[in-house]
Amino acid sequence: MLNDLLDGNRLWSAKRNADEPGYFERLATRQTPEYFWIGCSDSRVPANVISGLDPGEVFVHRNVANVVHSADMNFLSALEFAVDTLNVRAIIVCGHYGCGGVRAATEDLPHGLADHWLAPIRRLARAYALDLAQVSNVEDKRDRLAELNVVEGVRRVAETPIVQRAWGRQSELSIHGLIYGLKDGLLRDLGCTVTTPTSQTEPLNTTGSSFNPMTGDAR
């Protein structure tokens, strides 16, 4: 298996050099991404591939179910580097429909350490239990919860001292929430963009639910 991987790498490298001579030499001299991507570890959702970006154009942090934990030093270190050193202009929190982490958070089954990691998603499910109950299909309900997890992630990123300091410096930094469809390969904007501490916008009603996840208000 390792030989297959290395062979594939050599073929890719040779093709890239043939298509764009000097590509790797140029890439090695700089890293100037405009985006910091917070995504799921799912192997079907590689950030630069689904967004049509080249290596060097997006700085990536991934974890199970794209959960934003405010005490996760791995995430915070990556966020700080992206904001303070790379000077990214946009932070993307991206979830996906059919997320295995979201499914695990809704199952009454043991999942080991993942159960601790997914606790924020279970809290969201309890907080919006009445609204989620309006969605009859189990998969649709999980997809709605995946959307809520993205919106909550945007909120949590905006609340970090790292981002608050950047806005205090008048940095042009925006935070966006997207969700990816495994079945059609499309990214959808959840309409929860934040550009300043008071600029949260109402998210789009993408799956027909009747509540506003940013405020918890029923419509």
Q: Residue 44 catalytic?
A: yes
At residue 109, the pLDDT reads 87
> Residue 198's pLDDT band (boundaries 50, 70, 90)?
low
Q: For residue 99, indicate whether it is catalytic.
A: yes
Domain boundaries, the chain: 1-30, 32-214
- Catalytic: 96? yes
Set 7, 10, 26, 44: catalytic member? 44
- Coil vs helix vs strand at 219: coil
Catalytic residue, from 40, 156, 176, 192: name it. 40
Residue 200: predicted pLDDT = 55
pLDDT band at 219, cuts 50/70/90? very low
From start to end of the chain, where are the E strands? 35-40, 58-63, 90-96, 174-180, 187-189, 211-212, 217-218
Structure tokens at 148: 């809520």
The domain 32-214 is classified under which CATH number: 2.40.50.840, 2.40.160.40, 3.40.1050.10, 2.40.10.10?
3.40.1050.10
pLDDT digits (tens, 9 = 90+) for 125-152: 999 999 999 999 999 999 999 999 999 9
Q: What is the pTM of this model?
A: 0.87
**What pLDDT, on a 0 to 100 scale, did the predictor assign at position 216?**
37
More confident residue, 43 or 55: 43
Out of 42, 103, 155, 192, the active site residue is 42
Summary count for the chain: helices (H), strands (E): 10, 7
Is 140 in the active site? no
Q: Is 4 an annotated catalytic residue?
A: no
Of the candidates 61, 96, 103, 142, the residue annotated as catalytic is 96
User: Residue 163 has what pLDDT?
Assistant: 97
